[in-house]
Structure 1
Amino acid sequence: METWIMWFVLAGLVLGLELLTGTFYLVVISIGMAAAGISALLGANVSLQAIIAAVIWVVCTLILRKSRFGKPRHVQSESDPNVNIDIGQTIKVDAWSSENTARATYRGAMWDVELISGEASAGTFVIREVRGNRLFVAKP
């Protein structure tokens, strides 16, 4: 089998794996393998083909890491409404203690409630964060 065919077949297999996993890093590897296949078509020896593939992988990986696709999103799940459906919901608090904490019924259970901001008076509050069994609330 010709070397250039091997490179393109491997690039296609890796690209197929990328479709199953959804990571851009496998696309980078596939691009490097395709570049090695092109260099094989142009008559480069096998060691030069491998070097070209490796250089392309490293350069494209560095470019990917600098882009928005390569940066992991650090999400605080305690305050992200996409992760926790309670964020943004309202809760009624009847009485507050001196430390700006209270006990309130929410979704059929008793929860510890802590006031983030606003006046500690009875009323309706919006849940801004959930940590364990404690709801952190603020005035709407």
Structure 2
Amino acid sequence: MSDWMNWLVGAGILVIAELLTGTFYLLMIAIGLAFGGVAALLGMSGALQTLVAAAVGLVATAILHRSRFGRPAKTDATRDRNVNLDIGARVAVPGWQDGRARVMYRGALWDVELGPGALPEAGDYRIVEVRGNRLIVSNS
């Protein structure tokens, strides 16, 4: 088997492994191996082929790490609807005392606080955040 074929077989194995694991980092290393195959096709020595594969793999991995795909999104779980399904639900607040109230929600009593810019009036409110056993609500 030729050198370029070995590089491409290695890249193919990494692409399959990436499909099984779901990480893009193996794909970046596979791109480096593919470039090693191109270097072999151009007739470079084994050391230069390895250097090209390593350099391209490292650069591709660094670019991926700096992109939005390489880092998990930093979201506040107390405000994220994907984490807490109570976000966006409505509660009826009968009255307020110093910006706080107690309401029946999902069969239990909850402490409720006004969110920023909310007015302390009796009525329906939307849950915008959950902090422990407190619901933070807004008029909107």
TM over 0.5: yes
TM bucket normalised to smaller: 0.7 to 0.9
Shift of 1:31: 0.5
Q: Quick one: percent identity of the two aligned structures?
A: 49
In the other structure, the counterpart of 1:104 is 103
In the other structure, the counterpart of 2:49 is 49
Scaled by the length of structure 2, the TM-score of the pair is: 0.88
Shift of 1:114: 0.9
- Measure, in 1, the Cα distance between the counterparts of 2:6 and 2:131: 53
Shift of 1:134: 1.1
- Measure, in 2, the Cα distance between the counterparts of 1:122 and 1:74: 35
Scaled by the length of structure 1, the TM-score of the pair is: 0.88
In the other structure, the counterpart of 2:25 is 25
> The residue matched to 2:43 in structure 1 has which SS?
coil
In the other structure, the counterpart of 1:10 is 10
Farther-moved stretch of structure 1 (128-137 vs 1-10):
1-10
RMSD: 1.7
Write out per-residue CA displacement over residues 1-60 of structure 1, whole angstroms, 9 at most, x where no aligned residue: 433222111111110111122222211100100111121222222221111011101222
Write out per-residue CA displacement over residues 78-113 of structure 1, whole angstroms, 9 at most, x where no aligned residue: 112222211111101123222x11211111111111
Report the residue type matching 2:136 in the other structure.
Answer: F
Report the residue type matching 1:75 in the other structure.
Answer: T
